């Protein structure tokens, strides 16, 4: 009996220790809030173990028979264990059911997030299309303004040509009147020498007529200056419109950058959340599996100890009571079978837990692989964003350079207008001085009456007339060449306009295909770079041709000025008077008028070429800026 009581006390002590361990583990899990079913199991298991231990202790203390206590404990233990197993199975089924419910909810949440992302992408596309329309509206206005400006320029050129023809007609008629008025005193000089005072009055009238013509020319120059100032103001307005369009494009680019930053931040948040959730789940599952495995091992160890104790008790009972041995042995064998089945179930549950842990580890690996793929995609998008930002920065620098060039061109135009005004004033003063010198030379020629100087003057006038004819022929050739170059430049401009329209269509197609995939971006960027390079080459060729044309016009103007200076020197050389002074004076005046007409024609042709080159450069800058705006 003492040995039996000691064995029973050992069994009760082992059960109490195992129960205390299970209670500690379950309390820790319940405190963490992660294993509620373990807490319930711990709440039930220690009670049974304590009851068994208490029963064993009571049996040993009270001296009751070991067989009755063992029978009672064996009768109560299977029912309690079955209840506990049923409770555990129900809890596991509830957890699996909750997990199955949570997975569709997570999938539905992911689908909702995808739908929200698609809706947000559609809204962004609509905003981009609205921004593009807003950017295209000022461009259409600018195109209309340039067309109206070109029409105004053509009308102004036509009016200037009409005024030039009218002034030439007036000058021709004025020269004929002077010749008639000068021939009348020549016929009456021998007969009526006393009528010189009466002849002085028509000369004064002719001088006034010449002064009025010069004043009219000054007035025309002032009108041209006013037209030039109006052109400069219109150019300033166009520049302001271009700056507004560039600002709108910059705002659109800033919005795009903000959208990209938001997408990047959201992607990072999702990645961090996925990594955090996967790590937490893995840690929780590993902890739960380890705790359950430890609890199962402790439980198996306790059951094995109890089985060994029962075997020892059965062996002792066989020796003590031979009559009750068969029934007790059968009960013990049945109890041992139940314990073996329970151990097998626990081992199977441990294997299931290990398989589940392996599945979770595989899912974590897959999540990490998807995370790496998303990181690679994010890096690719970041590289594309950096490339787009660099391209936008280059376009911004190009726009600033174009603005500086335009400001320099405006300043050069102003200086050119000022120089033309000063040159006109100098020409007016020189014409007045020439008129005074011609009058003085005519008076001296009338006083001295040298026929040789008259013949020399006539020969010089003939030479000057031939020179003027040659200049007119050269000017006509230059006009035809300028017209041909102008036609070629117009064709080039039309070609550039068609290319710009094609580039705009490609840009619209690319902007429509932008949200679909990121690979076509490289092809789009290469196509845009090719188009911009071809446009730059075409613009450089047009600029070179215009520069050559301006140089040719300047050379022609310099040659005309040189010829005019030669004529003036020849006129100064023939200041020796002759008896036939009125005829010499008329010849000199006719030569001066022819030279002045040639100089005016050359100056008008040069101004026309300058205006045409300015309009071409403005058109080129407009198209270049429009292409830059479409790229932004």
3-state secondary structure 279-348: HHHHHHHHHHHHHHHHHHHHHHHHHHHHHHHHHHHHHHHHHHCCCCHHHHHHHHHHHHHHHHHHHHHHHH
Average pLDDT on 5-24 reads: 45
Mean pLDDT calculated for residue range 5-14: 46
Check whether 528 has a pLDDT greater than 60.
yes
Nearest C-alpha neighbor of 462 from the set 560, 564, 567: 567
Would you say residue 162 lies in a domain? yes
pLDDT confidence of residue 290? 75
Assess if residue 417 is contained within a domain: yes
Give 190's DSSP letter.
Answer: T
Residue 28 and residue 282 in contact, taking contact as beta carbons nearer than 8 Å: no
Residue 626's pLDDT band (boundaries 50, 70, 90)? very low
pLDDT, position 184: 45
Q: What is the mean pLDDT of residues 328-354?
A: 76
For residue 24, is pLDDT > 50? no
Predicted model pTM: 0.23
Which has more pLDDT, 457 or 540?
Answer: 540
For residue 498, pLDDT beyond 80:
yes
The domain in which residue 551 lies consists of 148-187+205-220+396-622
* pLDDT (0 to 100) of residue 594: 63
Note whether residue 425 is domain-resident. Answer: yes
**Of all residues in the chain, what percent carry a pLDDT higher than 70?**
43
pLDDT band at 533 (very low <50, low <70, confident <90, very high): confident
**Arithmetic mean of pLDDT, 436-460:** 68
| SS3 (DSSP) at 192 | coil
pLDDT in tens, 483-494: 888 788 888 888
DSSP track, 600-622: HHHHHHHHHHHHHHHHHHHHHHH
Separation between Cα atoms, residue 1 and residue 381, nearest integer Å: 84
Distance, in Å, from the CA atom of 103 to the CA atom of 614, rounded to the nearest integer, reads: 71
Question: Which pair of structure tokens corresponds to residue 331?
Answer: 């009960």
The mean of the pLDDT values for the chain is 64
209-223, 262-276, 407-421: range with lowest mean pLDDT? 262-276
In a domain, 404, yes or no: yes
Buried b vs exposed e over 302-313: b needs ≥16 C-beta within 10 Å? bbeebbebbeeb
Would you say residue 581 lies in a domain?
Answer: yes
What does the pLDDT average to over 574-582?
Answer: 49
Residue 294 lies in a domain: no
Q: If you average pLDDT over residues 259-284, what whole number do you get?
A: 68
**Residue 590 domain flag:** yes
Please report which confidence band the pLDDT of residue 68 belongs to, taking 50, 70 and 90 as the band edges.
low
Cβ-proximal residues to 157 (8 Å cutoff; 6+ apart), any chain: 608, 611
Identify the band that residue 260 occupies on the pLDDT scale cut at 50, 70 and 90: low
Average pLDDT over residues 553-561: 71
- Asked if the model's pLDDT at residue 185 lies above 70, the reply is no
Span 169-186, mean pLDDT? 47
70 or 426, which is more confident = 426
The pLDDT of residue 63 is: 39
Among residues of the chain, what percentage have pLDDT more than 90? 0
Asked whether residue 404 carries a pLDDT value surpassing 80, the answer given is yes
Residue 585: inside a domain: yes
Q: What is the pLDDT of residues 278-307, one digit of tens each?
A: 566 667 767 777 787 777 777 777 777 777
Among the residue ranges 205-209, 292-296, 475-479, the one predicted with the least confidence is 205-209
- How many domains is the chain built from? 1
């Amino acid at each position: 009996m003492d040995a039996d009581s000691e064995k029973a006390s050992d069994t009760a002590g082992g059960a109490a220790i195992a129960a205390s361990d299970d209670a500690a583990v379950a309390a820790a899990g319940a405190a963490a809030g992660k294993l509620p079913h373990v807490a319930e199991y711990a709440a039930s298991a220690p009670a049974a173990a304590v009851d068994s231990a208490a029963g064993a202790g009571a049996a040993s203390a009270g001296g009751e028979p070991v067989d009755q206590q063992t029978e009672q404990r064996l009768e109560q233990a299977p029912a309690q264990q079955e209840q506990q197993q049923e409770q555990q199975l129900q809890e596991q089924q509830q957890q699996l059911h909750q997990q199955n419910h949570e997975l569709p909810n997570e999938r539905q949440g992911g689908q909702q997030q995808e739908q929200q992302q698609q809706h947000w992408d559609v809204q962004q596309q609509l905003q981009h299309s609205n921004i593009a329309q807003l950017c295209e509206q000022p461009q259409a206005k600018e195109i209309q303004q340039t067309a109206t400006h070109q029409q105004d320029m053509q009308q102004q050129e036509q009016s200037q040509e009409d005024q030039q023809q009218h002034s030439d007609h007036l000058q021709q008629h004025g020269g004929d009147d002077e010749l008639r008025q000068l021939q009348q005193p020549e016929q009456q000089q021998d007969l009526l020498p006393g009528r010189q005072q009466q002849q002085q009055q028509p000369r004064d009238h002719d001088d006034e007529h010449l002064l009025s013509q010069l004043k009219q020319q000054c007035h025309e120059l002032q009108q041209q200056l006013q037209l030039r100032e109006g052109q400069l103001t219109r150019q300033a307005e166009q520049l302001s419109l271009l700056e507004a369009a560039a600002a709108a494009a910059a705002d659109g680019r800033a919005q795009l950058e903000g959208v990209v930053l938001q997408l990047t931040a959201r992607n990072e948040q999702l990645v961090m959340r996925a990594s955090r959730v996967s790590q937490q789940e893995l840690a929780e599952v590993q902890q739960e599996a380890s705790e359950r495995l430890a609890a199962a091992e402790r439980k198996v160890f306790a059951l094995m100890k109890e089985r060994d104790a029962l075997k020892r008790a059965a062996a002792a009972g066989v020796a003590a009571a031979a009559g009750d041995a068969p029934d007790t042995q059968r009960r013990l064998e049945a109890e041992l079978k139940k314990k073996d089945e329970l151990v097998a179930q626990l081992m199977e549950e441990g294997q299931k837990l290990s398989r589940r842990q392996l599945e979770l580890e595989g899912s974590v690996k897959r999540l990490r692989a998807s995370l790496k793929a998303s990181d690679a995609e994010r890096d690719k998008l970041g590289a594309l964003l950096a490339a787009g930002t660099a391209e936008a920065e280059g376009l911004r620098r190009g726009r600033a350079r174009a603005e500086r060039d335009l400001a320099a061109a405006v300043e050069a135009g102003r200086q050119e207008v000022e120089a033309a005004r000063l040159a006109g004033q100098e020409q007016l003063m020189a014409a007045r001085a020439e008129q005074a010198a011609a009058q003085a030379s005519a008076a001296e020629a009338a006083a001295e009456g040298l026929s040789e100087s008259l013949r020399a003057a006539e020969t010089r006038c003939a030479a000057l007339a031939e020179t003027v004819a040659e200049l007119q022929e050269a000017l006509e050739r230059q006009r035809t060449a300028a017209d041909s170059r102008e036609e070629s430049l117009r064709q080039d401009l039309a070609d550039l306009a068609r290319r710009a329209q094609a580039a705009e269509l490609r840009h619209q197609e690319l902007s429509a295909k932008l949200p679909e995939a990121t690979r076509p971006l490289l092809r789009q960027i290469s196509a845009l770079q090719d188009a911009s390079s071809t446009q730059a080459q075409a613009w450089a060729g047009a600029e070179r041709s215009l520069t050559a044309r301006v140089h040719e016009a300047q050379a022609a103007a310099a040659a005309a000025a040189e010829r005019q200076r030669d004529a003036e020197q020849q006129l100064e050389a023939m200041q020796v008077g002759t008896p036939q002074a009125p005829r010499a004076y008329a010849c000199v005046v006719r030569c001066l008028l022819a030279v002045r007409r040639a100089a005016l024609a050359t100056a008008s042709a040069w101004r026309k070429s300058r205006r045409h080159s300015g309009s071409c450069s403005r058109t080129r800058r407009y198209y270049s800026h429009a292409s830059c705006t479409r790229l932004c």
